[in-house]
Chain A
Amino acid sequence: MGDAAHAELLDHEVYQKPFKVEPEFEQRDTPANYRDRHSGDDKLPDKMKVWRVQNTGKTSGSVVARSYGFTDSPDAEVLALGFNHGKEYGAVGVGRHGNFLQWGYSAPPSKMSDAGKKFFVNCVCYIKRFDGKAPLVRTRSSHRLDALRLAALINRIKDKEFFSGSFSSDLMEKYQGDPNGLVQYYKTDFQLIYRDKVYRIDSELKLLGLDSNRSVDTLERLIGLLQDQTHADAARGLLTRYTNESFASAEQWQQWLTANRDRIFFSDVGGYKFFVAPKGYLLPESR
């Protein structure tokens, strides 16, 4: 990443107080890497609106974090998208995870722009609010979007070992020379992707007629199926796969769900599991 941030997100409160951050905008050519890594069906514009956070004159030296799954848990948020020439559009130049705020820009204050200086001061004030709020999840896995990104590369990267942690040998054989086919395979059942050594589609959920592994409704359905002799074993296995809980009875599962429903979230990055945010952890005004 170089000196700039994208203009999105400026309505976040971290740009409003104590200082109003009022950047000067520029239009920059959309980096080629954005197009290479773009998995959406929409077309990226030729130019993008950015603002300078610092003035080192370099196009690298600062750092972004990957965007995939960054916000799949309520303890993390993006504060600035970093304009970069190495990763995807949306990669995180300034972001928060729990009590940590990562300022991805490299320069000391004397080389920050006026807007950058104000933004930095605001970040110091903002992160204070998260004192005592350690992250709820840690990075244990890669997000399901990575399955699509990597599938698109199977022709470009010749070392097949590179994909051994991503795709089963059966799939690699089936889609040999056909990255689009492999991408489509994962796109079709995107909501059912999970990781068990490699990216898999959850055929067991599919057999039960459930179309997502990350919806709280699915959790509710699985708990309901514990009462059904025909599907109870499958449901129990899936609850083990997708939670860190191990209740003995259906009633206990139901009590757990009822008590925590409003605070349950699913995180791919956290290991393709449902988690419960502790009471009082979430600050409503921060989201």
Chain B
Amino acid sequence: MLGKHTLKGKSGCTVLTLCCVLVMVFAFGCRKKEQPQGSGQKAPPETTKPVPAADRVYQADTGEKINLRVLYAGVPNSERAKDFVDFLAKHFKEVETADYNAFKEGQSTDFDVTILDYDGVNTRAPRPKISRDYAHATITVGVPGAFICGNLSLKTGYL
């Protein structure tokens, strides 16, 4: 493992914010909206449309970190791994690392997206063994990534 480097969001703040919101809802949320008398207009029904889970990740414009758990499997202690992890941690709520050389597909289970990255260019990079049943959302990077895809007979493979 790459020193299991966990960068979680400010969960304490989130709980506090939720409590505040709940208090405000109880205090103000049940008041009936006043309608202008004689206007003849009816307020539109207050329907709430649940946001599909897959769409919730697209809320980064607010400046909040994106609500995804990302596993970066790279080369331990390399500048490149640090580069990627620092970048990912700026954007995603949870980023953990794993050793590319020892990657097992079961490690993806607890993450939304796995990134498999060696060095971007090496045609002789090791290729993690991944079965054809593996269906976790995954990004492969550069030449080593193309060879991983090739091993899996994917169209994204190197030819």
Contacts and interface: CB of A to CB of B under 8 A. Distances in A.
Contacts of A274: none
A102 interface: yes
A12 to B, nearest CB: 14
A103 B60 CA distance: 21
* Chain A contact residues, majority secondary structure: loop
Range of interface residues on chain A? 35 or more
A17 B15 CA distance: 27
A73 B154 CA distance: 12
Given A100-B138, A100-B152, A125 B146 contact: no
Interface in A122-137: 123-125, 127-135
* Chain B contact residues, majority secondary structure: mixed
A63 B87 contact: no
A75 to B, nearest CB: 9
B70 A98 contact: no
A117 B84 CA distance: 11
Contacts of A95: 155-156
A121 interface: yes
Contacts of B84: 108-109
Given A125-B66, A130-B137, A18 B142 contact: no
A101 B60 CA distance: 21
- Highest count of chain A CB atoms <10 Å: which of B68, B112, B149: B149
Contacts of B88: 124
Nearest to B92: A124
B147 to A, nearest CB: 9
B133 interface: yes
Contacts of B126: none
A127 B58 contact: no
Nearest to A134: B135
Given A121-B91, A129-B54, A102 B140 contact: yes
Interface of B: 54, 57-61, 66, 68, 70, 79-80, 83-84, 86-88, 91-92, 112-113, 115, 119-121, 132-143, 145-146, 149, 152-159
7 contacts: A66-B159, A97-B149, A102-B149, A108-B120, A121-B60, A124-B88, A139-B155
